Amino acid sequence: MADSSTLAARLSTDRPVFDRVLFGVALLGALVAVHLVIQQGRGFDRGCLGFSEPAAAQQASTFNCELVTQSGAGTLLGVSNAWWGIGFYLAVAGLSAGAAFAARRRFSLAAARAALITGGLVYSAYLTYHQFTGLGALCALCLISAALALTLFIVQAVVLARPAPQAASSADSSPEPASSMTPSSRRRPALWAGAALALLVLVGADVAYFSSLESPAGEPAAESVAPAERTASAEAPSENASSENASSERASARGPAAAPSPGSPSASGADTTDASLPPDCRFAQGQEPMKASQFVSFGDPVFGTSDAPVTVVEFFDPNCPHCKTFNTTMKNLTEQYGDQARFVYKPIPLWRRSVNQIAALHAAAKQGQFKAMLDAQFARQQRGGFTDEQLAEIAREIGMNPDPMLTQIQQGAYQQQIQRDRRLAKQAGVSGTPAIVINGRRVVLPTEKPSTFTLQSSTHPMPAPARTAGDPDTSALEPSRFDPALAETTIDTIRVLAVDAVEAAQSGHPGMPMGMAPAAYVLFRKHLRHNPANPQWPNRDRFVLSAGHGSMLLYSLLHLTGYDLPLEELEHFRQWESATPGHPEHFLTPGVETTTGPLGQGFANGVGMAMAERILRAQFGREQFPVIDHRTYAICSDGDLMEGISHEAASLAGHLGLGKLVYLYDDNDATIDGDTDLAFSEDIPQRFDAYGWHTLSVDGARDLDAIDAALTEAKNETERPSLISVRSQIGYGHPELTGDPSTHSDPFGPDAVRAIKERFGFPTEESFHVPEEARSHMREATREGRRREEQWEKLKARYADAHPEAAAELDRWLNRELPDDLSACFPTFEAGEEMATRKASGATLDEIAPEVGFLIGGSADLTPSNKTSVEGREDFHRTNPNGQYLRFGVREHAMAGTMNGMALHGGLRPYGGTFLIFSDYLRPSLRLSALMGQPVTYVFTHDSIGLGEDGPTHQPVEHLMALRAIPNFTLIRPADAGEVPFAWQAALENTGGPTALALTRQGVPTLDRSGAALADADGLLNGAYVLSEEDGDAGPDLILIGTGSEVQHALGAAETLRDEEGLAVRVVSMPSWALFDAQPEAYRRRVLPPQCTARVAVEAGVTPGWARYVGAEGRAVGLDRFGASAPGATNMEKLGFTAENVARVARDVL
């Protein structure tokens, strides 16, 4: 084996023949690599070598250069291997020339050449191995290149293997090159230059030939015709093609000049063969046509006649339900017109889950099974797409070998092709699927039913396929009710306002407003009856944005339609004291009907609003006088429908048949974690069908007419609530992330914002730009709203003339006016009687509810226990809307959420009952009652361990303190039956927030207040009062504070301490901390004089918090542990709630 010195000598030796051979082979390799680049740019439309007939090039074959070059091994460091090949061969040629002419540097140049050739061969061998074993497909040009690399290596090996001529080495074998050039060598430069010139000539000829080569249909080869404004559009197409033209038309109208129409002479590059369309279709306007050849590349599934004058291209997504319907049409067209047109299938992913399915379609096409795979995927179309295992199962069923397909999917073999088709769709103006392009011109499909699309050619007349039974006559379809350009301008204004606001705040959620802007536009423009000049108009339609994170959608609409929300407030989105908080807040922003953000809450609020409307309509509606008659609309999200409260509220709404409730479901398949199929896969329409809802679906959020039609149909359904599932794309318009869950929240950054504005035709350097035409368009809502309210006022005046008593009562209900002397109807209770405060509450309701009238409520399936029914009232249900008792079922959370909605609606004061322990089930809604300041009354019975044998699972311990911790929330725990009516009075007089009554299951003595010993029960209205005064004028030695059922033990302990110790003991009943803290300081000091620091509080609950009243020197008798399953009296005794134990603790304090 030669040593290093020998190899050095052989590399240093001048061997002109070998140098010329290596130079020549390298030039040939460079030519092959250039040819590969040219064919790759053409999409291998004429096969691997570029010399096949186009029809033959589309046939399945072992040789598939496109698949190989697009595979994971088709690039190195992000650069195509074809370009690396050019560089490799030119480098070898250069080093060979250098070694031949630079004699003094021959050794280093020859050594570098040897190393480069060896590395090139190794990489070429790897690529060849990958083709045979990984892809199951071969690239002819790649194999030729590999053979040339092997040739270079063999020649180089011969150089290293042959001994150097004696003259080439010095005596000491040092690698010193010859210093002179022989006469013959001086003739070599011409030969080398001639070879290099020949390469340039061949490359030029290759480029010229394929640049001038006509496509199979006779069109020139592909060339770039995409204007910059088109290429700024989002990579991912949007939802539905039936209205996709509106954006391009509007953008063109806003631009410097409208684009020439596709058929005009100025539309350079247009195909000479035109296609006439049926009356239910039209070519998209305002966009330059492209060449049909641009839509056909090697590897595309192509059917029909290759040299036909008409080329029909379908862009589709295998997960799009509309595409599933349209697939039958494409198959029929292919069968009927296969001899007159060629049909090209272009699968593009609207959703990320579609990518693997599309790769499977391409793999099936290579095995001649494209249509079988496509039909199978459409037949099994399911939410969430298919796993690789499911795709393999389909492959086996249709006779495919799944192994190469899975390998290709896993290696991303078709990623470049998929991306290329997406870019092509974007250039063609495609923004949804299915989309049809005929001879380079995009077709706008029928709105109502694209599957009725027919094809005709002016050159080859083709009769339209016969319609199947049930297909509508689309030629008679009504035109769109929307001005496409004006609608798109307005919709894009909403989107851009959301983007600008989030960018300015550097926080927020832009994705949802961008996706649902079209649906919200249709609702506000065509269906919502409201008066922006008077957000409190009683008979307005209610709109709830349950997906409250998309608040900029609502703020934009409120500003545009004329509510008192100036643009400056949008500019201060999420800032201190702005009227545009991060999530909508009812009490802060005009036009916001409810506070949303915690998902699912708005869903339940809307149900409550619909319930209130139904109750008031039944109560006050008269023939010819629908004084209360409106609808409730909402937009809800995937997250809303995941939350448990939506299940409860939807079930209740369906049971009640709330026909004036219409929800738009933003079905965008996106959550914060990623695609919804990570954790959410049920069929939403079927779920709501089971609830008894009327369900509709709109395949694309941009299909304005379909949304309009769905809303109209929903309004015509009077017996069931309606859910309209709207397929949308989150972040629609983002240049790279349309449809990506990452657009849910956070600003996009200046580059993306600029690209979005360019896409929608907005000034890139101006923020919060509102086109005047969009503002004027939407401000028509103010004029229309005033007109509607004036008509209602006239109706109400006629109603008052015809039914004066009912009209007066309606006004009282709407204003929630209580009777002048509510206490006059209070029940009385016999002193000394053992009565549970829940029973006293039921007796009070029986008396005051009929007097108040608008006090309406029920229980979460605990009516006998909560005592919440009202004598003489019937149940409210779908067949009895006049009923005024609400059966919420075992749905505590929905009960609270719907009560919020009823209170927000106005005209009612709702109440609802359950056990205090289950306040945990409804706490999120209760908290929002407080946040919104809504006068909801919660009746919480079984308020302590005194409930007995049900045990600690049902015995509240921490709940009293937890409820007191909520701001703007009033908790009242009456001591006896005598305090209960005043507790209800306090609740009804509290118009600025919710109130909860904590009531006992067990009986407590009704205190005898007839003498001077005990104060009157109306002291409850102050929150705390001196129930039993101490003897003497010196002030108390000790203050005992009690709440609820424990007040009796405070009284017993006081009597003992007075009798046995002679102490001046004061007993304070403190049913409500909140009411007491609201009293003047002078009153609070009279009840709890500061000089008396010996204080003991007693309450059957946890003790943290009592220090604020008993002070550092006082004590609290409470329960800082869970209860036990035993009779209530036993629990109370064993756990220290007795007069004796309270007296003992008091002595310790003293």
Separation of first and last alpha carbons in the chain:
108
Bridge-based pairing of strands 661-667 and 722-727 is parallel
Of 931, 932, 933, 893, nearest to 912 by C-alpha is: 893
Structure tokens at 945: 């361990």
Per DSSP (E only), the strands in 916-1018 are 937-941, 970-972, 995-998, 1004-1005
Element (H, E) at 858: strand 855-859
Cβ burial, residue 216 (10 Å; 0-12/13-18/19+): buried
CB environment 812-837: b (16+ within 10 A), e (fewer): bbbebebeeebeebbeebebeeebbb
Residue 689 in tokens:
């069908």
Task: Indicate the residue type of 140.
Answer: A
Contacts of 183 (CB under 8 A, 6+ apart): none
Q: Tokens 């050794």 label which residue?
A: 107
Instruction: Report the candidate in 66, 84, 97, 73 with the shortest Cα–Cα distance to residue 149.
Output: 84
Pairwise CA distance, residues 913 & 929, whole Å: 15
Backbone torsions φ then ψ of 974, nearest 5 degrees: -65, 150
Instruction: Say whether 244 is catalytic.
Output: no
Q: Which residues contact 539 (CB under 8 A, 6 or more apart)?
A: 627, 628, 629, 630, 789, 792
The dihedral sign for the CA sequence 914, 918, 924, 927: positive
Q: Across-strand partners of 858?
A: 886, 912
- 998 phi/psi in degrees, rounded to 5: -100, 115
Query: Maximum Cα–Cα distance for the chain, whole Å?
Result: 141
How many angstroms separate the CA atoms of 137 and 67, rounded? 7
State how far the Cα of 617 lies from the Cα of 619, in Å rounded to an integer.
5
Task: Assign 3-class secondary structure to 718-756.
Answer: CCCCEEEEEECCCCCCCCCCCCCHHHHCCCCCHHHHHHH
Please give the Cα distance from 761 to 755 (Å, whole number).
Answer: 10
Polymer length in residues for the chain: 1150
- Other CB atoms within 10 Å distance of the CB of residue 275: 22
Q: Which of 758, 892, 979, 1046 is catalytic?
A: 892
H/E stretch holding 341 reads strand 341-347
Instruction: State both tokens at 540.
Output: 């307005």
Question: Which of 135, 212, 160 is CA-nearest to residue 15?
Answer: 160
CA distance 890 to 873: 21
**Cβ pair 332, 471 in contact under 8 A:** no
Backbone angles phi, psi at 186, to 5 degrees: -70, -15
Of 1074, 1055, 1077, 1076, nearest to 1066 by C-alpha is 1055
Locate all alpha helices (DSSP H) within 130-187, ordered by sequence: 140-161
Query: Could you tell me the two tokens for 973?
Result: 């725990």
For the chain, the helix, strand and coil percentages under 3-state DSSP, each to the nearest 5: 50, 10, 40
Q: Per residue in 348-380, is it b (16+ CB within 10 Å) or e — as a string?
A: bbbbebbbbbbbbbbbbbbbebbbbbbbbbbee
The residues annotated as belonging to the active site are: 892
